[in-house]
Structure 1
Amino acid sequence: MSTPSERGFSPRVFSGIQPTGNLHLGNYLGAIRKFVELQASHDCIFCVVDLHALTAQLVQDDLVSQTRQIAAAFIASGIDPEKHIVFNQSRVPGHAELAWIFNCVARIGWMNRMTQFKDKAGRDRENASLGLLAYPSLMAADILLYRGTHVPVGDDQKQHLELARDIAAKFNNDFSGRIEALELGVPMRMGEEDVNGYFPLTEPLIEGPATRVMSLKDGSKKMSKSDPSDLSRINLTDDADTIARKIRKAKTDPLPLPGDVEGLAGRPEADNLVGIYAALKGVTKAEAIRDQGGRQFSEFKPALAELAVEVLGPVTAEMRRIMGDPAEIDRVLARGGERANEIAGTTMRDVKRIVGLLDD
């Protein structure tokens, strides 16, 4: 199957982060730093997905502040809000509008198969919110509202992107005749059929080896904003002393670091700390082991802490400076919202014509 750009869609990257809890090292290495790199080669839209945050917790203590913090992290890390679009999701009504149409396109069976829903709903699925069940439909709308052709994804989001592709394909197929009659789409080959597609079948964007950062307290669990222990993560707002203390207290085993990368097998905490060191230094784990292999953790942890402070310190300082001027953050998000609305408005006008909704 051809790529979206080969089918006539302009290449565009969309990605977003939920404003829930403190941003941490995993968010930075696994997502934000990659966002910065993508700016050089792609037209990018970066979104603070505040509507998604309501699926995790309806009543938030300070959603506004958390939204500003994500925006500040984007900018402090090097994302340029003038060349690219940075905004918060709720400023653009098209996200909710398109999500409702996609709710009518998607099938309940598709949603029930989503592993994240099963994990987050737990055993009491009947008491989960409808928003949590329909979360992937809103995510599809986030991407396709801008006819996004590529999305940088981690392992935990691949299934959602596959669903977005399924929704786009079903919409294109169900409305193929209208899309052709209105001259709004491009010819696409889907399976054995030629259809006129309005939405691209978004592709995952994988840039180099994935950086999967695990908890400092349990190397088998992903570093998380929702972990009750603050010692489990390094927050982007942590100062140098806090970073050093958290790394010093990080769980390890009694053995020294191995002499080769194969020696990390079966040692999740050692593997995690070496992986963090490698990601911060911009090298492979094998190269990190060649640099640090054989050292006791009492020697390795100070070196890791020094490196973490060196890399994160400038980002933290710039975040604090930006957060000190909330009005400027709001200006950036408002301007980004205006630019996003221009694109989204065109999409929604087209979609309403395709579906048959009366819209002046």
Structure 2
Amino acid sequence: MLSRLPLLARHSRVVLSGIQPTGVPHLGNYLGALSNWVQLQQRAQPDDGLLFMIAGWHALTLPQDPQTLAQSRWDMLATLLAIGLDPKRSVIFFQDHNQDHAELGWLLNCLCPVGKLRRMTTWKSRLATSRNADEDDVDESLLNAGLLTYPALQAADILVYRATHVPVGEDQTQHLELTRDLADSFNRTFKTASDHNPLFPLPTLVGTASRRILSLKDSSSKMSKSAPDPSSRILLTDTPDQISLKIRGAVTDSIKGITYDPVNRPGTANLLTILAACTQEEADVASVARRYESKGHGVLKTDVSEAVIELLRRPRARFTRLKQERGYLIEVAEEGARKAREMSEETLKLVRERVGLC
């Protein structure tokens, strides 16, 4: 009987999240999202659907070098496998291999007020970061339509699989709220007499355990792949020497002793946050800080370096091996896209019927 059910109906929960292929993931990506994906996979029930995508279309909202982007896509796929995602349990795929995202994205654009898009804060922060400028000084004439409207495409990424749970960072909370608004708007606008349940569920935010990881060079902003200074981030592919050098150069302060004070000592607090996350003590960063209250930043930085090096040792080794196995990566990508399309086609058929495009 199970094989006769619509594919999406087989899942009690559908979990979806994604990451852009703009360079190798950094420590903030790993602690804030990727490690949580692996934990979700480990804790998932047998009838949970898990989808993790590489969001190539979202990467195009800012200028990209085509050759670099092409390589980064495969590097990101290798990274997701290296950290422990299993293509036999999770659907791992390239967003741009499934055109259903774009079709639903256009339909949602037609429902989404421009005012709501302009109130999103992420486009302004991304534009400012790409220009190495403050958000208050960003030139809005540089804003392209794709960067403004990509939250509607992000909503389509979620709703095309009728995802029920979405693990995202705090900077994406606004976008998930918009997704819920668009789902509700579609359900109400295109409700049919035979509807017993809304077409789209209102997805639930799945919070991440790790705190926000800040730039090593600018404690007022989060660690970012697009920041101009490469020493501001630790990449999953960095060598132990590179990791140690970057952490030694991390901004702190001249206050004696170590305390956890994110407001007045953000650089020091960031190092403590990283250490606590690497040693699985996220729940009590303050107790980690107390171990260093009579010590200096030099000791703290040494311990942070050692913890980060150990955390990334195995994923880095796996990534180095998988990066050379292009045939296997292609196989994983093709199978992931096939599974993703099987799920999304069910949704698009119902969407087209409701809006009159069938």
Question: TM-score over 0.5 for the alignment?
Answer: yes
* Residues in 1 aligned to 2:230 and 2:309: alpha-carbon distance in whole angstroms: 17
Gaps of 5+ in 1: 1-7, 187-196
The answer for the alignment partner of 1:191 in structure 2 is none
The answer for the alignment partner of 1:172 in structure 2 is 187
Query: SS state of the match for residue 238, structure 2?
Result: coil
* Residues in 1 aligned to 2:287 and 2:334: alpha-carbon distance in whole angstroms: 44
* Residues in 1 aligned to 2:144 and 2:156: alpha-carbon distance in whole angstroms: 19
Check 1:58–1:254 CA distance in 2 against 1; reply closer, same or farther (3 A cut).
closer
The answer for the alignment partner of 2:133 in structure 1 is none
Whether 1:112 aligns to 2:143 is no
Give 1:229 deviation, angstroms. 1.1
The answer for the alignment partner of 1:133 in structure 2 is 148
The answer for the alignment partner of 1:24 in structure 2 is 26
Check 1:103–1:239 CA distance in 2 against 1; reply closer, same or farther (3 A cut).
same
Give 1:244 deviation, angstroms. 0.9
* Residues in 1 aligned to 2:139 and 2:208: alpha-carbon distance in whole angstroms: 37
Q: How does 1:241-280 map to 2 (within 5 A)?
A: 241-258=241-258, 261=260, 265-280=263-278
Residue deviations 1:29-83 (CA, integer Å, cap 9, x gap): 0000000111122431000000111112255342121111211111111111111
* Residues in 2 aligned to 1:133 and 1:301: alpha-carbon distance in whole angstroms: 39
The answer for the alignment partner of 2:200 in structure 1 is 199
* Residues in 2 aligned to 1:344 and 1:264: alpha-carbon distance in whole angstroms: 43
Give 1:9 deviation, angstroms. 8.0
Please tell me whether the aligned partners of residues 9 and 149 of structure 1 are also in contact (alpha carbons under 8 angstroms): no
Please tell me whether the aligned partners of residues 255 and 296 of structure 1 are also in contact (alpha carbons under 8 angstroms): no
Give 1:345 deviation, angstroms. 0.9
Please tell me whether the aligned partners of residues 257 and 270 of structure 1 are also in contact (alpha carbons under 8 angstroms): no
Give 1:154 deviation, angstroms. 1.4
The answer for the alignment partner of 1:287 in structure 2 is 287
C-alpha RMSD of matched pairs (Å): 1.9
Query: SS state of the match for residue 17, structure 2?
Result: strand
Please tell me whether the aligned partners of residues 101 and 156 of structure 2 are also in contact (alpha carbons under 8 angstroms): yes
Whether 1:84 aligns to 2:90 is yes
Correspondence for 2:161 among 134, 139, 146? 146
Counting aligned pairs with the same residue, the percent is 39
Check 1:285–1:95 CA distance in 2 against 1; reply closer, same or farther (3 A cut).
same
* Residues in 1 aligned to 2:38 and 2:120: alpha-carbon distance in whole angstroms: 29
Gaps of 5+ in 2: 1-9, 129-137
Q: TM-score, normalised by structure 1?
A: 0.88
Corresponding residue pairs, total: 335
Please tell me whether the aligned partners of residues 150 and 203 of structure 1 are also in contact (alpha carbons under 8 angstroms): yes
Check 1:171–1:77 CA distance in 2 against 1; reply closer, same or farther (3 A cut).
same
Q: TM-score, normalised by structure 2?
A: 0.89
Whether 1:298 aligns to 2:313 is no
Query: SS state of the match for residue 292, structure 1?
Result: coil
Give 1:255 deviation, angstroms. 3.0
Please tell me whether the aligned partners of residues 213 and 272 of structure 1 are also in contact (alpha carbons under 8 angstroms): yes
Letter in 2 for 1:134: T
Letter in 1 for 2:277: A
The answer for the alignment partner of 1:194 in structure 2 is none
* Residues in 2 aligned to 1:256 and 1:45: alpha-carbon distance in whole angstroms: 47
Residue deviations 1:169-214 (CA, integer Å, cap 9, x gap): 00000011x2x43x5x51xxxxxxxxxx100111111143x42111
